Amino acid sequence: MRRSLIQWFVCAVFSSILTVSCAGTRMSQTWVDETRRGKPVSDVLVIVVADKAKNREAFEHKFVQQLKAAGVQAVSSADVIPMPRDLKLEKEPQ
């Protein structure tokens, strides 16, 4: 009984510490390199690697929507680079 009480107490203390340490984070300062003044991003091809064509298309179209809402011209690779439905992506052993 005493051992389970100690385990419960240690678990409670650990959980409390974890909860407090993961409290909100706030940006206190930012740094921007003023000498870097490149052209704004445009004409983006969004490419997602996924095992299922539906997942690939869904992610790409969502990113394209968000980029277009920000004023960036973007195209989904699913629209220009079709992936065969029966293609299985496999990682090669190293």
> What per-residue confidence (pLDDT) applies to 22?
64
Tokens of 4: 């389970």
In a structure prediction context, what are the per-residue pLDDT tens digits for the chain, which is 94 residues long? 677 778 887 877 777 777 766 666 677 788 877 777 777 778 899 998 887 778 888 999 999 999 999 888 999 988 888 777 777 777 788 7
Burial (CB count within 10 angstroms: exposed 0-12, middle 13-18, buried 19+), residue 47: middle
- Give the bridge partners for 44, in sequence order: 74
> What per-residue confidence (pLDDT) applies to 75?
92
Dist CA 73 CA 58 (whole Å): 18
> What's the whole-model pTM score?
0.51
